[in-house]
Amino acid sequence: MFDPLGMLEIFRTGYAESVYARLNPLVKFILFAVFIILPLLSTNLLLQLFSMLAQIPLIMMSRSGRRVVRSLRASMFFILIIILLNYIATNSIIFSLSMVVRLLVMIIASAIFMNGSNPSEIGDVLSKLRVPTSITFSFIVALRFIPVLADDFMNIVASQASRGHEVERSGFIRRAKSLLPLLIPLIVIAIRRAQQLAEALESRCFGSGKRTSYISYGVSFSDFLALIYAIIVIIVGVSLATLPPSFPLLPFR
Amino acid sequence: MEFRVGKIYGIIGPNGSGKSTLLRMMNGLIPHFYRGEMVGRVLVDGLDTREASVAQLARKVGLVFQNPEHMFFSESIEEEVSFGPRSVGMEENEIGDSVRWSLEEVGLWELRRRGPWSLSGGEMKRLSIACVLSMRPTFLALDEPTIGQDAISKDSLISLLRNLRGEGKGIIVVTHDIEWLEELDPDEVIVLSKGSIYKRGPPEDIFSDIRGLVMSQLMPPVSYIIEDLLRRCLNVRSVRDA
Amino acid sequence: MIEFEGVSFRYEGSESYAIRDVNLEIRRGDFLLIAGMSGSGKSTLLRMMNGLIPHFYRGEMVGRVLVDGLDTREASVAQLARKVGLVFQNPDNQIVTLRVDREVAFGLENLGVSREEMISRVNYALSKLKIEHLGRRPTYELSGGEKQLVAIASVIAMKPEILVLDEPTSELDPFSAARIVKILRELNREGITVIVAEHRLDLFAPPSNRLLVVHEGRIKFDGDPREVLYDDPYPLGVKSPGVVKFAKTHGVRGKPLTVGELLRAIVG
């Protein structure tokens, strides 16, 4: 009936061993960022198609093929909507296609990144990017406690079910009301966990000064190659983005 | 196997032996909430747990979980205890009596207007029992009721369970606190191991099988260990000889 | 090492004092067991040892607590945490990272320790707790007992002289609990002062050299565990272990606390 642990899948960075996975996390992040920003530089279909093709080596390196296909399948609905809406708005097939491919590129970039990184690495990247400690930390703690709170929730549902509680299916207000016996204990327990965690962290000197890092990531030859690849992609991409409007296959403004 | 009213059953076993699974099958959580493959059937007063709903079964088997805070969401204890009866469809006029009775059984009637979270650990545990008792089940099943409790609370739990047995309820307790179980003196002890029943019988029989318990990764009560060692080392029949 | 001088404390918003008139001196190398009913003030006492009270928990404090000469009202929790490591009851609510070795290193990162030093201390702590094999495991895969061991390791890595534990085994099964007692015994033998608040007297009384009974905020007994456990501490909310009960029922002399001691007393 309930599968809150299924929600975990979104955050499960299904870390698969691969050439990509062994890259320095900062490099992975740069690659990720490149393929998010590049498609946004222009609505040029060539640019979008190039971006997508340029990701193929990455998909192979990170063994994300299956995950990419899954993500695309899941986004099918949105893809169709976007094609439709854009076509209605601009009457241009090319433009609509361009928008769709742009979305696909971003989805693929996320799939690659998620498949090749684990949450701790993402946390490390965030702190290296000078994101404030409180934000980076909240991110890691949240990931750490999602399975814990998911378990708590399962137990709450079981406890309340053993008291005859059932979630109402009809009527918005009735449904909301029947969720209270599940949500209130969850909130109370979450707060209690947070409170106890806070005193434990305090007792280990959290926030008392400059932090050093236990994990260090090396830079290898593959990282250099990856960065060079990124630069080449950027150069080609930018030139495609700045093509004169008379070039074929460009949408009409 | 069978559980009858008017008796206290203790279920022991190492981690992963299936103790919690067994409990969850008694009130229908398995198979309704926990999916899987079930072979055989569980009958509660004739009701097949595969067909009857958890709400129906809750009127027969009250399952009390380890953490009382998984239950509480009301403003007052009185309200909290009335949630169960109301959810299972008890008659309105019955609910009041039932709430009063269960709170008095656990000794919390005086505190009925207080909020559930204002209680001490031992009181919360008793409140969680009251919340289930108020549905007037014939059986009460408790999952590790002594965790985190102090000595006084554990002793009062023993008297409470004995009272309830005296009133005709069937009590089933899953616990790893062997010393407490010895003091509870159940009518029958069931030892689970790797998902099946290793042994069942009166406490004296189970607890004195030192070797069997240790091999099932369980620690026998201290008094039994001592008697066994004395018997074997000194060939004495009772400690008085020594 | 830790001195309580006429200490009372009342939590903000509470009318009664959680602890009253506590005078206590904890010596280096002690294995101090603190017993008492829930709500008797044990937890409050422990939190005053590393400064959580009064810095993290507001309230009214009378008297003073000195840790190696530092007054806990002035020194910060961070300063005190270098001397006094605190381990809590719930295994999950102390672990904040996703991997065991990172968790053990966490406190050291906060202290700004260098990477080389951190790596050596992490290995030290993991080996002391005998959990080297768990080093690279994700934290959410661990059992309750393993999580507690990780929690203790992450405090030990900070090399405090005093280890304080608040009911560390109350949520664990007997085997995990026994494992923790064994580790604490070893740490104590190596010179770390251990202070534990616990209900499981059968496990914790034997290794302890001193027992404190707290009742309604006051210290009602401070001394040799055998004395009070053989003197019916039940009115104070403390129940003696099974061995004591057996020895008393059968008139065994010598006040044994373990089965081994009991047998020796009988056999002579």
Percent of chain A with pLDDT over 70: 90
CB contact at 8 A, A111 and A71:
yes
Residues on chain B touching C170 (C-beta within 8 angstroms): 147-148
Query: Is the CB of residue B127 less than 8 Å from the CB of residue B119?
Result: yes
What ipTM does this complex have? 0.92
pLDDT at position C31 over 90: yes
Chain C residues lying within 8 Å of A120, measured CB to CB:
97-99, 102
Position A116 pLDDT exceeds 90: no
Please state the pTM of the whole predicted model: 0.90
**Segment (H or E) for C56:** none
Q: Is C38 on the interface with B (CB under 8 A)?
A: yes
- Stretch A37-60: mean pLDDT: 90
Q: What is the pLDDT of residues C144-194, one digit of tens each?
A: 999 999 999 999 999 999 999 999 999 999 999 999 999 999 999 999 999
% of chain C with per-residue pLDDT over 70? 100
Structure tokens at A203: 């007792």
Q: SS in 3 state form for C21-51?
A: EEEEEECCCCEEEEECCCCCCHHHHHHCCCC
The per-residue pLDDT for C37 is 93
Closest CA to B146 of B122, B123, B116, B170: B122
Q: Stretch C238-245: mean pLDDT, rounded?
A: 92
A215's CB contacts (< 8 A; 6+ apart) are A120, A124, C102
Whether the predicted pLDDT of A248 surpasses 80: no
Would you state the structure tokens that stand for residue C240, as one six-digit string?
Answer: 């003696």
Question: Nearest 5°: phi and psi at A244?
Answer: -65, 145
Asked if C143 has any chain A CB less than 8 Å from its own CB, the reply is no
For residue C99, give the nearest of A120, A147, A208 by CB distance.
Answer: A120
| Greater model confidence, C124 or A118 | C124
Q: What pLDDT score does B217 carry?
A: 85
Report the residue from C38, C239, C243 with minimal CB separation from B120. Answer: C38
Query: Residue B183 pLDDT more than 50?
Result: yes
What is the rounded average pLDDT for all residues in chain A?
85
User: Hey, which chains touch B, using 3+ CB pairs under 8 Å?
Assistant: A, C
The Cα-based distances of C48 to A147, B104, C19, C55 in angstroms read 33, 38, 11, 9
Helical ranges in chain A per DSSP H? 4-11, 25-37, 45-61, 65-74, 76-90, 93-116, 119-128, 133-161, 172-202, 221-241
Cβ contacts of B134 within 8 Å, gap of 6 or more:
B81, B82, B84, B85, B95, B98, B99, B101, B102
Structure tokens at B224: 């039994």
Q: Cα-flanking dihedrals φ and ψ of residue C254, to 5°?
A: 95, -5
CB atoms C267 and B233 under 8 Å:
yes
By the CB < 8 Å criterion, does C170 face chain B?
A: yes
d(Cα C180, Cα C152) in Å, to the nearest integer?
9
pLDDT exceeds 90 at position B99: yes
Looking at the partner chain, which of C85, C88, C97 has a beta carbon nearest the beta carbon of A140?
C97
The pLDDT, as a whole number, for residue A10 is: 43
- Can you give the pLDDT at residue A117? 87
Burial of A248 (0-12, 13-18, 19+ CB in 10 A): exposed
| Mean pLDDT value of segment B96-114 | 94
What was the pLDDT predicted at A17? 77
**pLDDT over 90 (residue B149):** yes
A111: its two tokens: 């799939």
Q: Under a CB-based contact definition with an 8 Å cutoff, are residues B64 and B145 in contact?
A: yes
Residue of B nearest to C36 (CA): B150
The answer to whether B149 and B121 are in contact (CB under 8 A) is yes
Pick from A192-206, B44-58, C208-222: least confident: B44-58
pLDDT at B239 exceeding the cut of 60: no
Report the pLDDT value the prediction gives residue C56, as an integer from 0 to 100.
94
pLDDT confidence of residue C124: 96
Q: Environment class of residue C210 by beta-carbon count within 10 Å: exposed (0-12), middle (13-18) or buried (19+)?
A: middle
CB contact under 8 A, A164 and B55: yes
pLDDT, residue C254, reads: 87
pLDDT confidence band for A4 (50 / 70 / 90): very low
Is the minimum CB–CB distance between C90 and chain A shorter than 8 Å? yes
Position with higher pLDDT, B115 vs A10: B115
**Rg of chain C on CA atoms, in Å:** 19
Rounded to the nearest integer, the mean pLDDT of chain B is: 91
pLDDT at B83: 95
Tokens representing residue B213 in the block: 């318990």
C215, β-bridge pairs: C218
Chain C residues close to B178, C-beta within 8 Å: 174
Give the strand pairing for C59-67 and C31-35.
unpaired
- Residue B55 has its nearest CB partner, among A159, A166, A180, at A166
Average pLDDT score over residue span C121-131:
96
Which of these, C3, C97, C19, C99, lies nearest to C59 by C-alpha position? C19
pLDDT band at A245 (very low <50, low <70, confident <90, very high): low
Spatial distance between the Cα atoms of A164 and A157, rounded to a whole number of angstroms? 11
Nearest CA-CA partner of B74 in A179, A184, A175, A165: A184
Q: Tell me whether residues C93 and A212 touch, CB distance under 8 A.
A: no
Interface test with B, best of C167, C201, C249, C263 (most B CBs within 10 A): C263
Q: Tell me the average pLDDT across B29-37.
A: 89
CA A157, CA B232: separation in Å to the nearest integer?
50
Average pLDDT over residues B69-97: 94
- Using an 8 Å CB-CB cutoff, list chain B residues near A188: 69, 72-73, 117
Q: Residue A207 is which amino acid?
A: G
Q: Give me the mean pLDDT over the B19-45 stretch.
A: 90
* pLDDT value at A223 more than 90: yes
Q: In 3-state terms, chain C is what percent helix, strand and coil (to 5)?
A: 40, 25, 35
Q: Which of C245, C238, C243 is nearest to C258 (CA)?
A: C243
Answer whether residue A253 shows pLDDT above 60.
no
- Does B88 sit within 8 Å of A164, measured CB to CB? yes
Per-residue DSSP letter, C64: E
Pairwise CB contact (< 8 Å): A140 & C98: yes
Give the tens place of pLDDT for each residue, A157-194: 999 999 999 888 888 888 888 999 999 999 999 999 99
Rounded to a whole number, what is the distance in Å from the CA of C260 to chain B's nearest CA?
A: 9
